[in-house]
Amino acid sequence: MILTVTLNPAVDKTYTSGELITGHVNRMRTVMSIAGGKGINVTRILRQYDYPVCATGFLGGYAGNFIEDYLRANQVYCRFIHVDGETRSNMNILADNGYVTEILEPGPEINEEQMQQFLAQYEKLLPKSELVVLSGSMAAGLPEDFYSVLIEKARMRGIKTLLDTSGESLRKGIEAKPYLIKPNQKELEYIVGHKLVNKDDVAEAALSIQAAGVGHVVVSMGKKGLLSVDGGKIFYAKAARIKVVNTVGCGDSVVASYAMSIMSGMRNEEALQRAAAISMANATTLISAEIPKETADELLGHITVEQLR
């Protein structure tokens, strides 16, 4: 079983409009609500590929019930801690002019008792798990090193962890030496403290993080593609040309794809190529984290992986 941890889930609302104008009334053309948050997106993709998944984290209120019902309907084993307050909603507005605007709510605050309940639940779930995916922002009230605590607990049981977060949560998580991290280029710039101009800069930054003890660093660079550092070797997958509809969930698609590749023992070059294909396929659809598998399979044949070093 793969265990996914989403500490700050969300109901993702995707709107379409002609144009978004600040300071004015904006009427949306369509709206669609789905269970979201980075870890939930990973969970949904893994289930589309028939991997057994247990999802945990914090949920609250009507929105929390909506997410849990959605996951259970897709045969996800749910073990969330239910908290006071309402799980957040995130708005993703797609305008005809090509601009994408995201509005992200903060979510409920977690108290000490709820945090301890989660840790106890996490300890119970680890023996049943082969892999742990830790994704997304930290819920308010949790310490910045909370992901580090979860990574250490998994390591004590010999379980690999995949970490996809940002800011200080990522910095602290790196100190715990997870098996894999998946920052985007801006998140990597925050960690190393300077601008990364080209893929050579990205590669050097990723190498420095691997030298600090992280097993595998995968960097998403948007339309430029993906870069992977593993065992000192650097691989780069250039993005194929596609018609982009919605980029939300592309990074989560990379994480889900790597989780599947790790479970199946796939070589790094193949894992990178597959992750690029699944991520790009995600961008071709309006619904985030709903992978058109035929598109992903077709894109796989158009993605070349180059070893840079």
Of 12, 145, 230, 252, which one is the catalytic site residue?
252
Q: Write the pLDDT tens digit of every residue in 12-53.
A: 998 999 989 989 999 999 999 999 999 999 999 999 999 999
Q: How many Å from the N-terminal Cα to the C-terminal Cα in the chain?
A: 34
Residues 138 and 148: beta-carbon distance below 8 Å: no
Residues 95 and 20: beta-carbon distance below 8 Å: yes
Mean pLDDT confidence for 249-276: 94
Q: What is the mean pLDDT of the chain?
A: 94
> Which residues in 273-307 are b (16+ Cβ under 10 Å) and which e?
bbbbbbbbbbbbeebbbbbbeebbeebbeebebee
Q: Write the pLDDT tens digit of every residue in 76-116.
A: 999 999 999 999 999 989 898 888 888 989 889 999 999 99
Is 252 known to be catalytic?
yes
Beta-carbon contacts of residue 241 (< 8 Å; ≥ 6 apart): none
Q: Indicate whether 309 pLDDT > 90.
A: no
pLDDT at 245 (0 to 100) = 84
Q: pLDDT band for position 186 (50/70/90)?
A: very high
Instruction: Take residue 65 and report the two structure tokens written for it.
Output: 């019930």
Q: Indicate whether 222 pLDDT > 90.
A: no
Q: Indicate whether 287 pLDDT > 90.
A: no
Q: What is the pTM of this model?
A: 0.93
Phi-psi category of residue 69: left, alpha or beta, with phi > 0 → left and psi -120 to 50 → alpha: alpha
Q: Where are the beta strands (DSSP E) in the chain?
A: 2-6, 10-17, 30-36, 53-59, 77-82, 88-95, 100-104, 131-135, 160-164, 180-181, 216-220, 226-230, 233-237, 305-307
pLDDT at 136 (0 to 100) = 95
Residue 240 and residue 304: Cα distance in Å, rounded?
A: 9
Higher per-residue pLDDT: 150 or 308: 150
Give me the residue label for tokens 């998994």. 154
Cα–Cα separations (whole angstroms), residue 224 to 38, 111, 299: 21, 41, 15
Mean pLDDT confidence for 176-187: 96
Cα–Cα separations (whole angstroms), residue 5 to 31, 103, 125, 298: 27, 22, 11, 31
Of 62, 79, 15, 70, whose CA–CA distance to 41 is shortest? Answer: 70
Rg (CA), the chain: 19
Q: Bridge-partner residues for 17, per DSSP?
A: 95
Beta-carbon contacts of residue 17 (< 8 Å; ≥ 6 apart): 26, 27, 28, 29, 93, 94, 95, 96
Of 217, 215, 226, 214, whose CA–CA distance to 250 is shortest? Answer: 226
Q: Indicate whether 164 pLDDT > 90.
A: yes
Beta carbons within 10 angstroms of residue 195's beta carbon: 9
Q: Indicate whether 231 pLDDT > 90.
A: no
